[in-house]
Every structure is written in structure tokens, then in C-alpha cells.
Structure 1
Amino acid sequence: MSYHILERTQLLPVTLPEAWKFFSAPGNLKHITPAYMGFEVLSDSGSETMYPGQIISYYVKPLFGFKMFWMTEITHVKEQEYFIDEQRFGPYQFWHHTHFFREIPGGVEMRDLVHYRLPFGPFGKLAHALLVKNQLHGIFDFRYQVLEKQFGKFPEQV
């Protein structure tokens, strides 16, 4: 059984409370997702911050503009340290995404660790090699740029 890992780190020149407030608000997901993904949040939990057990549902257009339903659950939250979202229904056979936050001199280190697996056996492996891997990297590259524009470059990166 094979699965894939995507890990990304970004340094942001903001306080830990500012970073946490932004990333723990489900409504901000749309702002850090490329428009071509057709990301549309469907659920309205009435909460401005996430909590364990929260279900968030969306529509996404990951392949060729086909709209797909995606539902995730926020399974763990440790305030200003990390939170985990896991797919319950959607395009992946398995999706486990941990978002880590750590205060550092001059700002915050934000690290993402995603473990995922595609369905359809050998066809999923082929789709990953030809399309999905690059698309996921592109989504995280886009997010990096959006966050840099919103919060600024970390001093060592200027």
C-alpha cells in the first residue's frame, strides 16, 4: 500500500495569535486556494474558529473542471500549536493534513504535513505521477505567494 507525503514550511512575519486567528478560520480557506480549483465552502458552522469534530464541506474542481464534493473533519486542535483535518468524503482515498505553528524570532513558522493516497490502484498511481502531485505542489505554491502578499516576506527572505 503506497501513500504520498507533502511537506511545506513557510515563515511569516506575524505573531502567533495573528497566524492562528487567520488559519483557524474556515472561511479563509477560499482565499488561499487558486481560483481554478473552484473552491466553494458549503458548510456554515456558525463558528469563526475551528474546533475538534467540526465538519467542513466544499465543492472543488480538481480535474478538468468537474465539480466534486469534499468533506473534511477537524479531528484535533491544540490552540496555537496545530490542527488536523481529515477527509471524510472526497477525491482521495486517504487525506490527513496537519498544520503546525511555532513561534520563532521575528514571526511564526508554519508547517504543513499531508499524508494522502489516491483511489483506483495503478490508475491512481498514474494520475498522481501525471497530474495530482504537480497540482498539489501548485496549490501550496499559490498559498505561499498569497500569504507572502498578505503578511509580507519574512525578514531573512527580503
Structure 2
Amino acid sequence: MNLKISKQSGIYTLTSEQLLPISLDEAWAFFTVPGNLDRITPAEMKFSITNNPGLHTYQGQIITYTIGILPFVKSNWITEITHFVPKKFFVDEQRFGPYSMWHHEHHFTETEDGNVVMTDIVNFKMPFGIIGDILAGKVVKNRVVFIFESRHKILKQLFI
């Protein structure tokens, strides 16, 4: 697992990389089923898709959720798939939700031995500017890291 997070100009950037012992076709088929997001999100997040986004991801798709952003605090969240290049990458961006900005790139690269490196790049910004950052930035940053650390473990159980 390779995970790092940094902050510059009020924007957090998390980069997560994981090698999966599955083919590019298998990875793409799994990660472009919206319902599988629930399978790879830690239960502590109380994550639930609230609309019917369909069976496969596509550009322009809107997905609505509820998610526990902090202990005892749930939020509605709406994302749109803004970019979609089959078997290469897709991007989801927040349209409404707990962040001032959320931009999540999902990249898939086939290795020489037929496995897949999955790279997530998430850029997010806290609401309410510096005040939001001071009040909740560290907690939210740690929560996002927790989600991706948990995702690594869940994917390892699913595919290794």
C-alpha cells in the first residue's frame, strides 16, 4: 500500500496506489459498478447510495449518497462522473455535499505481468475556508485517510 496526503493552498491531495492481482478487465468491471462502492467503504462511514444509478458507470452519471462525515453527523452527497475513458480512468466530482470541493480520479494501469495498479487521486477542500479547516480539517483529513486505508484492506480481502 502506498498512500500519502499533502496540503497546499487550502487543498488537500490524497494519493493512494494499490497493486491488485486481477486483470484490467476484472478491475474495470468491478470498479465501474456503482453498487460496489458500498462494498469497499468502511461500515463506520454509514455509507448508502440513495438513488438508482444503474449497473455501470458512465460520463454524466449522477450518484446520490448519505455518508457519516463525522461521528453522529450524516450528510447528503451528490457526485457526477465528469470524465470516463474505458479501462483507463474515470473522475467523480462533488456537486453537493460536505466539501467545498471534491475531485476524485480513479486510474487503472495494467502491469507487465497482467495485474493492475489502481491509483486514486483525491483533491478536496474544507467548507468555510480557513475557519472550516481549523475546526475540522485535521479530523476530516484523518477520516479520508482512514477510508482509503480501509479500502486497501477490503480490496486485499476481496482479491488476494
**TM exceeds 0.5?**
yes
Superposed displacement of residue 123, structure 1: 2.4
Structure 1 match to 2:86: 79
Structure 2 match to 1:156: none
What is the alpha-carbon distance in structure 1 between the residues aligned to residue 132 and residue 153 of structure 2? Answer: 29
Between the two proteins, the alignment pairs up a number of residues equal to 150
**Aligned ranges 1:22-101 → 2 under 5 Å:** 22-45=30-53, 47-101=54-108
Letter of the structure 2 residue corresponding to residue 109 of structure 1: V
Q: SS where residue 26 of structure 1 aligns?
A: coil
Unaligned runs of 5+ in 1: 153-158
Superposed displacement of residue 49, structure 1: 1.1
Letter of the structure 1 residue corresponding to residue 55 of structure 2: E
What is the alpha-carbon distance in structure 2 between the residues aligned to residue 78 and residue 49 of structure 1? Answer: 13
Query: Is 1:128 paired with 2:137?
Result: yes
- Structure 1's consecutive aligned runs of 4 or more residues displaced over 4 angstroms after TM superposition are none
Contact 2:10 2:130 in 1 (8 A): no
Superposed displacement of residue 112, structure 1: 0.4
Q: SS where residue 43 of structure 1 aligns?
A: coil
Quick one: percent identity of the two aligned structures? 45
What is the alpha-carbon distance in structure 1 between the residues aligned to residue 17 and residue 70 of structure 2? Answer: 26
Query: Is 1:147 paired with 2:120?
Result: no
What is the alpha-carbon distance in structure 1 between the residues aligned to residue 78 and residue 105 of structure 2? Answer: 16
* Two-structure CA RMSD over aligned residues (Å): 1.0
Q: Per-residue displacement from partner, 1:11-62 (whole Å, max 9, x unpaired)?
A: 00000000001101000001111111110101103x3110000000000011
Structure 2 match to 1:155: none
TM-score, normalised by the number of residues in structure 1 = 0.92
